[in-house]
Chains A and B, each alone.
Chain A
Amino acid sequence: MPSSANSANRYDPDSIHQRLNTSLSRPQLNEDGHLRHFLGVEGLNKTQLQTIIAKAESFFDEQGQLINSPELEGCTVMNLFFEPSTRTRTTFEVAEKRLGANVLNIDIARSSTKKGESLRDTLWNLQAMTADIFVVRHSASGAAHFMATEVTPDIAIINGGDGWHAHPTQGMLDMLTIHREAPRPFEELSVAIIGDIKHSRVARSDISALKTLGVKDIRVIAPKTLLPKGIERYGVTVYENLDEGVRDCDVIMGLRIQNERIGSPLLANSNEYYKHYGITPERLALAKPDALVMHPGPMNRGVEIASSVADGPQSVILKQVNNGIAIRMAVLSLAMQGQREYQQLQRELQLNSTNLKQTGA
């Protein structure tokens, strides 16, 4: 708050980090510390992240196949994609259907907002159509927070990606994948994240989740133009040289280079990028022999990753997609449960205050 603006330790990097985590996370939790929205992984503690992972694992049977679990029967989930998406939207839809929810896909990009309706009006109208959960993808950082805090707090908001800020279900599906596939526990892993960190909501969510789950060695590898200001304060090690960065690491996470970055002032061209930052078999050989290769998709083969690596034995890229369904089932179910608890408590409080008034009268 502005009133304490000049106290000395307010600007201590650790205290800033901790405070930011808390303030960004607070709106997504109910009184018992359970999720009632899922806005971001930052600020959630290790137990809370492990709860999400455990819940996701419960959706696999003994053969490792995804099961159906009708936990959202009778609930209406609206997928609000203000920004185009194929993979995220589809996996959300699959997850929602496996939970037995009524699913509506609303193509916002082509509908009311184009007619000048404000975001608040759009959401209030959809709320009136008896939605229980909104899954939201929006190009503005903080959009999901804004909805959860200022527009429709009684609807469980699931962040499907907001600007450059967060993509928490991607972050958690990456954690589930590492948890299931890596030969060592989080505490013993070295993880390298390569590519456009600056504009990546995936990178931010991954770094946050990896730190909370105990990974000590997180490396980010990118040219200076693709690194955000203040990256060193995230508790990561920055490498501009890929060979040095991937040496002996356990997990290599590639990031998508968006086409509009190539040939912009940020990058020369895709050949040069591939030459210096592409994940090639030679570079993969510098990592540990059992290192995992991950990518959130969609991939630019031959730009950020070689086809032989993407399709090779160390790649878990398609497993990420499958795990994405389980993670989305988990957060949808948990947030709905937390939202119900929250609303039950609100009703009880209201009832109590009414009773008190009547007793008083």
Chain B
Amino acid sequence: MPNSLTMKNLLPDAFNTAALLKQLDSTEHATSASSQTEKWLMPPLVDLCARLREPGSQQHGTLKSEGRAARKNGFLHVVLPPDTNPVLENGSLLKGLRERALQDGGIYLHVLGALTAGLEGERPANVAGLQQGGCIAVTNAGKPFANSLVMLRTLEYAATFGLKVFFYPNEPSLAAGGVAHEGYIASFHGLQGIPWIAETVALSKQLLMVEETGISAHFSQLSCKSSVELMRWAKSKGLPVTCDVAMHQLHLTDDDIEGFNALAYVLPPLRSNTDQQALRKGLTDGTIDAICSHHEPLNVTAKKAPFAETTPGISNFDTFMALACRLVVEEVLTPEMLVEKICTNPAKIAGISAAYEKIGGAIIVDPAHEWQVSAETMYSQGKNTPFIGQQLNGRVVETLFD
């Protein structure tokens, strides 16, 4: 009884709140916690983009290590892009992958199938087969198309089957060789820049393709102010589009690469303060529908080289909730809006709302929980985060999953 009173209930109506509260009261959770502040009872998190490193890159993480890290940090549903090794282009393999993720990692995996064969951008993959295998959408991940005609035709082909497409807008010829946001910080360090237009030129073209083909599209990991403006335009035109931003883009800027800090090397790159403010505004006004983790765990040696020769990526599962809480503290989002951005909207975008509600579960977040980011306190196998060593507030303190 007293437990549920110190808790802000943020569960959507569709969730079986009564049963969860009952389960909650039968545990000892809140009485043992020292924090006196209000905790949040939230539905499980849904992540629209995380790389679990399996299959193909197990030196950085596995379904087991990253699945467990996801679960401990409140993510019960994770969307996986197909740029693994081998590429996820075979419908019959998806079932096994999902089963292993659930069995070893305890998470529900939702797979994006390859839009083009081998992600090579030449011809469509067997998208109908992928659909039968249970992929939730298709994408060419970060890989380029051979030309605009291939892009148009493969999108038409996917639209035939009613599939949604995920885009990670990036024009390769404009971004080639770049490792940081093109601006003063990159110039000062002598690092090759990636200009805004690498993202906005690609996004503009993709939006026009969406308009032409009528395919539903989700744009992931937007990083620029102009991208938010383009999305605003597309939504005002009524195009069937949604978008997300990676959590770290809302808290870090290109400033954080200062002194050749390879832990802050990520693609798309950390942008300027102006971009960050625009992304936050887009989140508040609803232009940006969701926040993803863009979790990319890496082993230690991947970051031990001169900046441009390191592997891009940030291990984000462990810091995700603390940074989400910071958005509430800084009044970018209310707790209710936060639940939309990291739970219910991602579920809608992934087209899994029914399963999401049926599977149910809940998490308890203590927004005041203070902890230090360290190799020991992180659940992910990848310790590659620029937040390492810092004190953060907010963490998932309990998960109520079956």
CA distance A11 to B387 in the complex (A): 20
A165–B184 CB distance below 8 A:
no
Closest 5 CB pairs of A and B: A230-B184, A165-B190, A164-B190, A142-B260, A140-B306
Contact A3 B390, beta carbon cutoff 8 Å: yes
B193 contacts chain A at the CB level, 8 A cutoff: yes
Residues of A whose CB lies within 8 Å of any CB of B are: 1-3, 5-6, 10-11, 13, 16, 19-20, 23-24, 26, 118-120, 138, 140-143, 145-146, 150, 162-166, 198, 201, 204, 228-231, 233-234
- Among residues of B, the one whose C-beta sits closest to the C-beta of A119 is B305
**Closest approach, in angstroms, between the C-beta of A103 and any C-beta of chain B?**
25
| B226 nearest CB across to chain A (Å) | 16
Q: How far is the CB of B343 from chain A (nearest CB, A)?
A: 25
CA distance A233 to B183 in the complex (A): 10
A322 to B325, CA, bound (A): 60
Assess whether A141 is in contact with B184, with CB atoms less than 8 Å apart: no
Task: Tell which of B260, B309, B390 touches A145, judged by Cβ atoms closer than 8 Å.
Answer: B260
* Chain A, Cβ-Cβ closest to B250: A5
Q: Could you say which of A143, A229, A233 contacts B306, with CB atoms under 8 Å apart? A: A143
Bound-state CA distance A345–B283 (Å) is 52
Contact yes or no, A142 B189, CB < 8 A: yes
Since A23-B259, A142-B189, A145-B259 are in contact, a sample of 4 more A-B pairs with Cβ atoms closer than 8 Å, ordered by chain A residue number, is: A3-B391, A11-B255, A26-B259, A166-B190
User: Most chain-A CB neighbours within 10 Å: which of B182, B184, B252, B391?
Assistant: B184
Closest to A6 in B: B330
Chain B residues 233-278 with CB under 8 Å of chain A are 251-253, 255-256, 258-260, 273
Q: How far is the CB of B384 from chain A (nearest CB, A)?
A: 14
Q: Is B360 an interface residue (CB 8 A)?
A: no
* Smallest beta-carbon distance A112→chain B, Å: 15
Among residues 158 to 188 in chain B, which have CB atoms less than 8 Å away from a CB atom of chain A? 182-188
From residue B304, how far is it (CB to closest CB) to chain A in Å? 6
| A163 contacts B308, C-beta separation under 8 Å | yes
> In the bound complex, do residue B189 and residue A141 qualify as a contact, i.e. CB atoms below 8 Å apart?
yes
Closest to B179 in A: A141
List B contacts of A150 (CB < 8 A): 304
With a cutoff of 8 Å between Cβ atoms, the chain A residues found around residue B251 in the complex are 2, 5
Within 8 A of A (CB), among B305-336: 305-309, 330
Chain A residues closer than 8 Å to B305, beta-carbon distance = 118-120, 140, 146
Total CB contacts across the A-B interface at under 8 A: 107
Contacts A2-B252, A119-B306 known; A163 to B183 CB distance under 8 Å?
Answer: no
With an 8 Å Cβ cutoff, the count of chain B residues facing the other chain is 34
- The CB with the most chain B CB atoms within 10 A, among A24, A138, A166, is that of A24
Complex-state Cα separation, A229 to B180, whole angstroms: 12
Assembled-state Cα–Cα distance A138/B187 (Å) = 18
B positions within 8 Å CB-CB of A: 182-193, 195, 251-253, 255-256, 258-260, 273, 301, 304-309, 330, 386-387, 390-391
Chain B interface main SS type? loop
Complex CA distance for A142 and B386, rounded to whole angstroms = 17
Tell me if A229 and B193 are in contact (CB < 8 A): yes
**Which B residues lie within 8 Å of A228 (CB)?**
187
Q: Is the CB of B189 within 8 A of A165?
A: yes
What's the Cα separation between A357 and B307 when bound, in Å?
A: 40
Sample of 20 A–B contacts (CB below 8 Å): A2-B251, A10-B273, A16-B184, A20-B258, A20-B259, A24-B258, A26-B259, A120-B304, A141-B190, A141-B308, A142-B190, A145-B260, A145-B306, A163-B306, A164-B192, A198-B187, A201-B190, A229-B187, A230-B188, A233-B184
Q: Which residues of A lie under 8 Å from residue B195 when comparing CB positions?
A: 229
Which residue in chain B gives the minimum CB-CB distance to A143? B306
Beta-carbon contact of A138 and B184 below 8 Å:
no
Q: In the complex, what distance in Å separates the CA atom of A219 from the CA atom of B203? A: 38
A6–B390 alpha-carbon span in the complex (Å)? 16
* Closest B residue to A233 using CB positions: B184
Name the residue among B192, B301, B391 with the largest chain A CB count within 10 angstroms: B192
**B187:A146 contact, CB within 8 angstroms:** no
Alpha-carbon distance between A2 and B391 when the two chains are bound, in angstroms:
11
Asked whether, in the complex, the Cβ of B193 is within 8 Å of the Cβ of A23, the reply is: no
Of chain B, the residue at the smallest CB distance from A4 is B255
- Please name all residues of chain A whose beta carbon is closer than 8 Å to the beta carbon of B273 when the two chains form the complex: 10-11
Contact A2 B185 (CB under 8 A): no
**A328 to B: closest C-beta gap in Å:** 21
- Tell me if A229 and B186 are in contact (CB < 8 A): yes
The verdict on A19 contacting B306 (CB below 8 Å), with A2-B390, A229-B193 known, is: no
**B255 touching A24, Cβ below 8 Å:** no
**A231: chain B residues within 8 A (beta carbon):** 187
Cβ–Cβ contact B183 & A229, under 8 A = yes
**Docked complex Cα distance between A234 and B308 (Å):** 23
A3 to B329, CA, bound (A): 14
Pick from B183, B184, B307: contact of A140, CB under 8 Å: B307
Contact, CB under 8 Å: B190 / A16:
no
Residues in B whose Cβ lies below 8 Å from that of A204? 188, 190
Q: How far is the CA of A33 from the CA of B101 in the complex (A)?
A: 54
Partner of B390, one of A1, A13, A140, A163: A1
Question: What CA separation (Å) do A141 and B387 show in the bound complex?
Answer: 23
CB distance A230 to B259 under 8 Å?
Answer: no
Q: Name which residue of chain A comes closest to B308, CB basis.
A: A140
B190 & A163 in contact (Cβ 8 Å cutoff):
yes
- Would you call B190 and A162 a contact (CB within 8 A)? yes
